[in-house]
Amino acid sequence: MSAHGATVESHVSGTTKLFLWVWFWLLVLTGIEVLLAYLRLEPRLMLILLVGLSLIKSALIVAYFMHMRFERLGLFLTIVPALVFCLCMILIFVFPDSLRIVQMHP
């Protein structure tokens, strides 16, 4: 993420090779997720692992496919912390109840 992209005009960033690599890694991570399904893990652990892997995948998509890595830092700082903040606000109300569920049936 360059803090000082000099021009206002849209710019060509990244190479075909880079995008193919990102695509390849996204497929690998998807493959790992499908393999996890065969292990029949306990749902909570499974959910945590799957969401973790999905977060990595979405970070790859946002950074490279959506060019966020080549945008100014300011755009990232405008979008992502706001999203994280809103999600935390939602989770504040869900977490206590979720913890109660965990105790209800272990």
Partner 1 sequence: MSDTELDFSAASSWSGGVSPYATNTKKLGMWLFLLSDSLTFSSAILAYAYVRLSSTNWPRPFEISPAVVNATVMTLVLLSSSLTMVMAVHAGHKGKRKSAVWWIIGTMAGGLLFDFLHLSEWFRLIFNEKVTPWSNPWGDPLFGGTFFGLTGLHMLHVTIGVIYLGIIAYGFGRGKYNADHVEVSGLYWHFVDLVWMFIFPMIYLMSVNLKG
- Binding site residues, partner 1, CB under 8 A: 5-8, 10-12, 14, 16, 19-20, 23, 26-27, 30, 33-34, 36-38, 40, 43-44, 46-47, 50-51, 53-54, 57-58, 61-62, 65-67, 71-72, 74-75, 78-79, 82-83, 86-87, 90-91, 94, 97-98, 101-102, 104-105
Q: Which of 19, 2, 101 is nearest to 60 (CA)?
A: 19
- Nearest approach, Cβ of residue 79 and partner 1 (Å): 5
| Identity of residue 30 | T
Alpha-carbon torsion (48, 49, 52, 53), positive or negative: negative
Q: How far apart are the first and last CA of the chain?
A: 44
Q: Is 45 exposed, middle or buried (0-12, 13-18, 19+ CB in 10 A)?
A: exposed
CB 56 within 8 A of CB 62: no
Minimal distance, residue 26 CB to partner 1, in Å: 5
- Closest separation in Å from C-beta 88 to partner 1: 11
Query: Shortest gap between Cβ of 54 and partner 1 (angstroms)?
Result: 5
